[in-house]
Amino acid sequence: MLVSAKEMLTKAKAGKYAVGQFNINNLEWTKSILLTAEELKSPVILGVSEGAGKYMTGYKTVAAMVKAMIEDLGITVPVALHLDHGSYEGAKACIEAGFSSIMFDGSHYPIEENIEKTKELVAICNEKGLSLEAEVGSIGGEEDGVIGKGECADPDECKAVADLGVTMLAAGIGNIHGKYPENWEGLSFETLDAIQAKTGDMPLVLHGGTGIPEDMIKKAISLGVAKINVNTECQLSFADATRKYIEAGKDLEGKGFDPRKLLAPGAEAIKATVKEKMELFGSVGKA
C-alpha cells in the first residue's frame, strides 16, 4: 500500500521505534526491500536520491515501477516512496510524478531561505496529502557528489522549521553519509536531546545509518528519532555478495551468467541487511 509517511512516523515516535528508509537503485533493490518489509510486517520507506532517480531514467519510471510492484507482489504493509535530499526543483518534479513523500534539503541555504522554500512545499504537500521532510544543519559525507561537513544543527532553527508544519525533521547531530572515519566522534546526543526538547512530537530523522554502533542507534531512538536512513550498507552487502559469486566462478557454471542468477546473491544480501536493520530499529510487526 503506497501511503505518505505521516501515520507510520507518528506511530513510530509514539511507540519509540524507528521506520527504516532504504534507498533504491534498481528493480532488484526495490523487490528485496518490499518483500522483506512484507515478510516482517514492517512499515517501510523507499528512498530515491536525485542521482538514483536519474539512473532509473526518471521519477515517473520510479513511481510507476514501485506502484506496480506493490500491486504485483501483493504488498499490504504501508510503503512510502520518498525523495531523498531533494532540491527545490526535484521536490516539485517528484510531487508531479506521484511520489508519496518528499524530502526538501534546504540545509545549504541561509536559514531564512530554507524556511521560505520549506514553507511553500509544506503548503503543496499538505494539499496533496504527502509527507514532507526538511533538513537543518547539513549531514556530513558525500551524497550524490555533494560533500557536507557533519555539523550539529541549531535547536532553535530546528524549532523554527518544525513549526512550519513539516512531517519529519532531519537534523545534523554529527552523523555522516557513507562509512564513518576511524576518528569519528560519534553522535551528539546533547544536540539531539536539545532538538527533541524544542520540537516535541516531531519525528526526527537520522541520516547516515550505515555503520552507527547499535547502542547509539537505540539511544537515538529513545531520544526521538523515528526514521533512520540506510543506503551504503545495502550497497556494500550487494557488492560483496556479487563479488563472491564471481570469484567462485559461478557466473561461468551452467547458466550462471544469466542476470537473474548473477544478481540473485546480491538481492538476497540486501534482504538480510534490511531484516537486520528492521529488527534493530524495532519496526518488525508494526505494520
State the residues that interact with ligand 13P by CB under 6 A: 23, 47, 84-85, 177-178, 207-210, 229-233
Beta strands in 10-164 (DSSP E): 19-23, 44-49, 79-86, 101-104, 131-136, 141-143, 146-148
User: Annotated catalytic residue: which of 72, 84, 154, 258?
Assistant: 84
**CB of 170: closest distance to ligand 13P in angstroms?**
8
* Chain-centroid distance, C-alpha 32: 15
For residue 180, CA distances in Å to 143, 185, 196, 258 come to 14, 10, 24, 35
CB count in 10 Å sphere of residue 222: 12
CB count in 10 Å sphere of residue 282: 18
Listed residue (76, 94, 89, 45) closest to 203, CA to CA: 45
Contact 228, 211 (CB under 8 A): no
Among residues 245 and 269, whose Cβ is nearest to ligand 13P? Answer: 269
**CB of 141: closest distance to ligand 13P in angstroms?**
7
**CB of 16: closest distance to ligand 13P in angstroms?**
21
In sequence order, which residues have a C-beta less than 8 Å from that of residue 253 and are 6 or more positions away? Answer: none
Among residues 38 and 135, whose Cβ is nearest to ligand 13P? Answer: 135
Among residues 220 and 245, whose Cβ is nearest to ligand 13P? Answer: 220
**CB of 249: closest distance to ligand 13P in angstroms?**
31
Among residues 129 and 213, whose Cβ is nearest to ligand 13P? Answer: 213
Q: Name the packing angle between helices 88-97 and 111-128 (round to 10°).
A: 10
Active site residue 84: yes
**CB of 176: closest distance to ligand 13P in angstroms?**
7
Among residues 62 and 230, whose Cβ is nearest to ligand 13P? Answer: 230
- Which residues belong to the active site? 84
